[in-house]
Amino acid sequence: MRESWRWFGPGDPVSLEEIRQTGATDIVSALHDIPIGEAWPLEQILAHKTRIEARNTIHSPLYWTVVESIPVHEDIKLAAPGHERYIENWILTVKRLGEAGIKTICYNFMPVIDWTRTDLKHEMPNGAIALRFDQDRFAAFDLFILERDRAEKDYSAEERDRARAAFENMCADDVAQLTETIIAGLPGKMTEAYTIDDFRQALARYDGMTHAALRANLMAFLGKVLPHADRAGVKLAIHPDDPPWDMFGLPRIICTPRDLNLLFGKLPNPSNGMTLCVGTYGSRPDNDLPQMAIDFAERIHFAHLRGVSRDKDEQRSFVEANHLDSDIDMIGVIRNLLSNETELDREIFIRPDHGHLMMADLENAKSNPGYSGIGRMKGLAEVRGVIRALSVEEQ
């Protein structure tokens, strides 16, 4: 497996020199300063690649091999008039990345919002800080802060009661923090930051959008992109919707094995692949991650290895747990990914994902939520230990 590390560029609190010390060999990055919908200039791609790889003759080498992500413009997801120009820009970016030797692209097709949490500073029993999604607090935001039209139809009477209780326990600062956490954007975001009015307007554009219509828009987008990815030697690896269920009345279409079978059945092109984000798919108890690692072996080009622990009473609420201590059989996932590599004679890019904020990083005000250095290094070390043990076991 190729051990990779997400890096947000020169402003990332975790430097390239520190990443080298973790033992990672590959960098997952993007040009986050390019406005969504614009093509990435080849000169900027090459400059970023040079920045990452410049000291490879002096220190342990790092290579920019995975892009996460090229944002997909909302007009593409909506198939809005004029969206074709954004597809052309996306294709041009794919071609340029292939020319630069960057051959794996993680992307997503989540409407309006990217990955969503309700708490970026949930304290774990050992004092470390984790990311958390609380369904009751999310519903409280949707029903009583955002006050989305027809939102009550998406919740049972019991769920509305729990949401009201959660809302009534919030002070003004809690409301402001929850609002910012959900809609104001996160490091490496693939959507713009919103005000609450902007957010309402963005949601309104999707009124009447169905799962079938959004899926058709994804298929149409990929139908145009994939032939160019083929010629460029680039593999596309779609990331699941996070959390993997409908939110804010928006359809979400990459959540389960059924969704993936629909995608790959319709577009069997070998460049059409997936990111096995273990924590995201594992947020649903009906997703069997070790089995998915087998069933989609040829389609998995990238893997995010993290786990979640779901609440017993509300399975849609979860906390991002230690990489090996969660509701997910991470060892089974890794064992099956290693088998895939052997059978298909290739290597899969993996990275630790959403490490806990811990130790000295607790005092680092600049740490990006989920992307602190020490927590991810701990996760990578744990995963590396499993890989080494299983590899020896197979010999």
- Tell me, yes or no, if 301 is annotated catalytic: no
375 vs 352: CA distance, rounded Å: 9
What is the structure's pLDDT at 394? 72
Tally: H helices and E strands in the chain: 14, 12
What is the structure's pLDDT at 365? 74
What is the structure's pLDDT at 194? 77
What is the structure's pLDDT at 205? 95
Spell out, as residue ranges, where the chain has pLDDT lower than 70: 184-193, 395
Amino acid present at 92: L
Exactly one of 107, 242, 277, 323 is catalytic; which is it? 277
Quick one: which H or E segment has residue 87?
A: helix 84-99
Question: Is residue 8 a contact partner of residue 368, using CB atoms and an 8 Å limit?
Answer: yes
CATH class as words, domain 2-116+208-313+322-394: alpha beta
Exactly one of 304, 323, 329, 361 is catalytic; which is it? 304
- Tell me, yes or no, if 211 is annotated catalytic: no
What is the structure's pLDDT at 192? 62
Exactly one of 75, 119, 259, 353 is catalytic; which is it? 353
- Tell me, yes or no, if 354 is annotated catalytic: yes
Exactly one of 239, 301, 323, 356 is catalytic; which is it? 239
Exactly one of 122, 323, 354, 356 is catalytic; which is it? 354
Cis status, amide bond into 69, omega within 30 of 0: yes
Question: Is residue 89 a contact partner of residue 11, using CB atoms and an 8 Å limit?
Answer: no
Q: How far is C-alpha 225 from the geometric centre of its chain's CA atoms? A: 20
pLDDT tens profile 103-158? 999 999 999 998 999 999 999 999 999 999 999 999 999 999 999 999 999 999 99
What is the structure's pLDDT at 366? 84
Report strand pairing: 129-133 vs 318-320: antiparallel
- Tell me, yes or no, if 304 is annotated catalytic: yes
Backbone angles phi, psi at 109, to 5 degrees: -130, 40
